[in-house]
């Protein structure tokens, strides 16, 4: 009989919103969304170790490692659902900027769910994991699925799409973040002139049409999120040859879509400035996954 796992290490990719539309208000006041989401090659590194207690550590990060952390909430949700009287020591080495709209916290939560499922042999299905993830945060189900997806509702209605056309992303994170609740509150006050055609973007992805994907891109939260540099960063990326540029999620990160590596890297060099974080990324075809397990 094989010994039980004692430790698992995972990678969990960040995400970009290739499009984001607000299409209504659901019961309870939540916003109904229509989005195309893409996992990218920037990863949170999450390690889980069996423990009698629930402990979370974030070495080198300013994120608070308390009960409000999404990874902590994911662990609680997993133990409550499975009924396991157990614990876990969670160590997260963060790479994704905070308040960027890149889903770092959701990636952490997804990694915890995948890791605990393996660590304790719970054998929960992806459907069960996504339902648990949805109870933790709107972007967690996508972080579990990864790849390229059309995401609707509260983030709980997910349709896997073919891989997006081959491209590169240059992502610029200014020296400040944006609060997601504040961005949606502002949307409720002022609305948005931008409503991307997510169905057209899905069709472009299915056709392998990068210009069509870029033509249909847009983010309904851009105007109201209040990012002081959003418009200028988008224009700078376009000036550097991006085929499309927009803010991801509720901000503050802005990205350009390039059809080759060289112009993407040139744009990264051109936009480098004190206080900014810049990443040159590829599409990733997966979600949170185990890269090492120890017995």
Which is the catalytic residue, given 15, 73, 94, 234? 15
> Rounded to an integer, what distance in angstroms lies between the CA atom of residue 156 and that of residue 211?
28
- Residues 12-49 as b/e (b if ≥16 CB within 10 A, e otherwise) read bbbbbbbbbbbeeeeeeeebebbbbbbbbebbbbbbbb
Q: Which residue has the tokens 């990060």?
A: 61
Q: What is the DSSP letter of 98?
A: T
The contacts found for 202-205 with CB under 8 angstroms, 24 or more apart, are 202/36, 202/150, 202/161, 204/165, 205/36, 205/148, 205/161, 205/162, 205/164, 205/165
71-91: b (≥16 Cβ within 10 Å) or e:
bbbbbebbbebbeeebebbbb
15 is annotated as an active-site residue: yes
Q: Which of 34, 139, 243, 284 is catalytic?
A: 139
> What are the DSSP calls for 225-257, one per residue?
H--TTHHHHHHHHHHTT-SEEEE-TTSS-EEEE
Q: For residue 259, indicate whether it is catalytic.
A: no
Active site residues: 15, 139
């Amino acid at each position: 009989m094989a010994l039980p796992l004692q430790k698992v290490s995972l990678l969990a990719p960040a995400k970009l919103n290739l499009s984001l539309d607000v299409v209504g208000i659901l019961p309870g006041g939540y916003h109904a969304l229509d989005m195309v989401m893409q996992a990218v090659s920037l990863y949170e590194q999450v390690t889980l170790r069996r423990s009698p207690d629930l402990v979370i550590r974030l070495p080198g990060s300013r994120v608070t490692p308390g009960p409000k952390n999404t990874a902590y909430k994911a662990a609680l949700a997993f133990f409550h659902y499975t009924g396991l009287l157990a614990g876990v020591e969670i160590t997260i080495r963060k790479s994704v900027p905070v308040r960027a709209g890149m889903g770092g916290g959701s990636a952490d939560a997804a990694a915890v769910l995948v890791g605990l499922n393996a660590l304790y042999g719970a054998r929960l299905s992806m459907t069960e994991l996504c339902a648990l993830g949805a109870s933790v945060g709107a972007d967690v189900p996508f972080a579990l699925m990864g790849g390229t997806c059309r995401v609707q509702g509260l983030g709980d209605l997910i349709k896997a799409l073919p891989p997006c056309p081959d491209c590169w992303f240059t992502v610029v994170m200014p020296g400040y973040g944006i609060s997601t609740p504040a961005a949606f509150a502002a949307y409720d006050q002022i609305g948005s002139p931008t409503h991307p055609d997510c169905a057209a973007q899905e069709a472009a992805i299915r056709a392998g049409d990068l210009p069509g994907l870029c033509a249909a891109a847009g983010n309904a939260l851009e105007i109201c999120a209040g990012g002081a540099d959003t418009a200028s960063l988008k224009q700078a990326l376009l000036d550097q040859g991006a085929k499309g540029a927009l803010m991801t999620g509720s901000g503050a990160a802005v990205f350009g879509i390039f059809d080759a590596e060289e112009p993407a890297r040139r744009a990264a060099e051109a936009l480098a400035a004190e206080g900014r974080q810049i990443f040159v990324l590829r599409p990733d075809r997966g979600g949170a996954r185990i890269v090492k397990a120890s017995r």
